[in-house]
Amino acid sequence: MAAPARKTDIGPPHYDKFLHPVIKENYGKWKYHEVVKPGVLVHVSETGAKIFTVRAASPRLLSSTTLLLICDLADKYCGGFLRFTSRNNIEFMLDNDANIDPLINELKQNNIPVGGTKNSISNIVHTQGWVHCHSAATDASGLVKVVMDDLFEYFEEMTLPHKVKIAVACCLNMCGAVHCSDIAILGVHRRPPKIDHNNVKNMCEIPSTVASCPTAAIRPTYVDGKPSVVIDEDRCMFCGNCFSVCPAMPIADPLNDGVSIWVGGKVSNARTQPTFTKLAIPYLPNNPPRWTEVTEAIKKIVTLYAQDATKYERVGEWIERIGWARFFDLTGFAFTKEHIDDFKYAGLSYRRTTQIKF
Ligand code: SF4
Ligand code: SF4
């Protein structure tokens, strides 16, 4: 008897197994979509079929109790069909519009807000923070909670000039979308890793530690006769990559780690080309649990944008129109030496757009 075929990679199940039947039947036939009211979308097919979406917030790190509640609501109102967007919004997919208001009422009774559509601030995409990641320079979920506490009205209503996407990444490896969001909060280390020379030989592979450094700042050496490494501190950009492969090089520093604020990124091609974020504030202190300095800065940017931008202008487009000097004047943020890109390959990074032209 022939041996059963060997499976080397099982992989995730094909996504079409989980599509709502209306989406499956109308795949590639969608004619238009519109926002019915804050938090509710309808997609209409060429065949006339409709699928409604109720968008709700999630804190991303969900307890099993909340997950079970979300699943129960999906079973009750939409045949179990829901999905999470890349910014961690929960989207319930409904084919019966009579279920929209009962679902929204039950979500609200359970303190799950509905919104995040069109000219609003949708859920903040964020990373692991102190809960889970070894290289975090700040927390992620804690920051998101305090920032959204301040901006909550903009999630439930659609009163901004355009959509505002906010992202948090807790170090510059940026698992979050901080490079392409209207406002980004980025955790920063400001000192090189501290080398525990006694343990480098026991805990780390020296060649892979040397190879882990993107700026070639690490060299092998001997300290007190033991193999170790040395860091050329002028080359270090405090990324923490070396700590990922060598636990004897911790980078976390409670006194010097903190938060930077970036503005003006977007993925959309509409009106203007996609753009990367640019630096607004190089450093604010880590001040948990409320991070007052950070929340005040974000609120200031959003409030000025809401007052000053014209309709359908994204944050970056607004700043480009009024000029960066005026942006610094209006916000009162200091323009510092960190705003000048003096990286040795800066010439390659001046063109800050994601559109590649050959
Ligand atoms: Fe870890 Fe950095 Fe990603 Fe945060 S952004 S989860 S610290 S790698
Ligand atoms: Fe290199 Fe980054 Fe480690 Fe600095 S923190 S030595 S740049 S890997």
> Which of 219, 221, 236 maximizes ligand 2 atoms within 8 Å of its Cβ, making it the mutation to test the pocket?
236
Ligand 1 atom nearest to CA at 171: 2
Average pLDDT over residues 115-122: 96
Residue 288 backbone phi and psi in degrees, to 5: -70, 160
Least confident span in 144-148, 189-193, 287-291, 352-356:
352-356
Q: What are the pLDDT digits (tens) for 30-48?
A: 999 999 999 999 999 999 9
Which residues does ligand 1 sit against, CB inside 6 Å?
127-128, 133, 135-136, 169-171, 173-175
d(CA 169, CA 175): 6
In the predicted structure, residue 335 carries a pLDDT above the cut 90 = yes
State residue 270's pLDDT score: 87
State the average pLDDT over residues 298-324: 97
Atom of ligand 1 nearest to the CA of 174: 5
Atom of ligand 1 nearest to the CA of 127: 6
Residue 349, pLDDT score = 57
With bands split at pLDDT 50, 70 and 90, how would you rate the model's confidence at 356? low
Sort strands 183-188 and 166-169 into parallel, antiparallel or unpaired. Answer: parallel
Residue 348 pLDDT: 61
Q: Which is the closest atom of ligand 1 to the Cα of 129?
A: 4
pLDDT of residue 173: 86
Q: Name the residue of 141, 174, 188, 243 to mutate for ligand 1: max ligand atoms within 8 A of Cβ.
A: 174
**How confident is the model at residue 11, as a pLDDT?**
82
pLDDT at 8: 76
Nearest to 264 by CA among 354, 180, 155: 180
- What is the pLDDT at residue 353? 60
> What value does the mean pLDDT of the chain take?
93
DSSP string, 185-213: EEEE--SPPPP-HHHHHHH--HHHHHHT-
Look up residue 135 and give its two tokens.
Answer: 């290289």
Q: Is 176 helix (H, G, I), strand (E, B) or coil?
A: coil
pLDDT for the residue 207: 95
- Residue whose CA is closest, atom 8 of ligand 2? 213
Helix ranges restricted to H, 60-162: 64-78, 100-109, 141-151, 153-156
Average pLDDT over residues 57-64: 90
- The ligand placed nearest to the CA atom of residue 237 is 2
What is the rounded distance in angstroms from the CA atom of residue 136 to the CA atom of residue 89?
23
Question: What integer pLDDT is reported at residue 171 of this predicted model?
Answer: 93
60: CA distance to ligand 1 center in Å?
15
pLDDT of residue 33: 97
Q: What is the mean pLDDT of residues 247-252?
A: 96
Index of the ligand 2 atom closest to the CA of residue 239 = 2
- The closest-lying atom of ligand 1 relative to the alpha carbon of residue 176 is 5
What does the alpha-carbon distance between residue 218 and residue 269 come to, in Å, rounded to a whole number? 40
Best of 138, 172, 174, 175 to mutate for ligand 1, by most ligand atoms within 8 A of CB?
175
Q: Is the pLDDT of residue 333 over 50?
A: yes
214 has pLDDT over 70: yes
Confidence of residue 5 (pLDDT cuts 50, 70, 90): confident
Q: Read off the pLDDT band of 346 (50, 70, 90).
A: low
Looking from the CA of 268 toward its CB, the CA atoms found within 13 Å total 16
Pocket of ligand 2 (CB under 6 A): 192-193, 212-213, 215, 217-218, 231, 236-242, 251
**Residue 357 pLDDT more than 60?**
no
Residue 358: its pLDDT value, please?
44
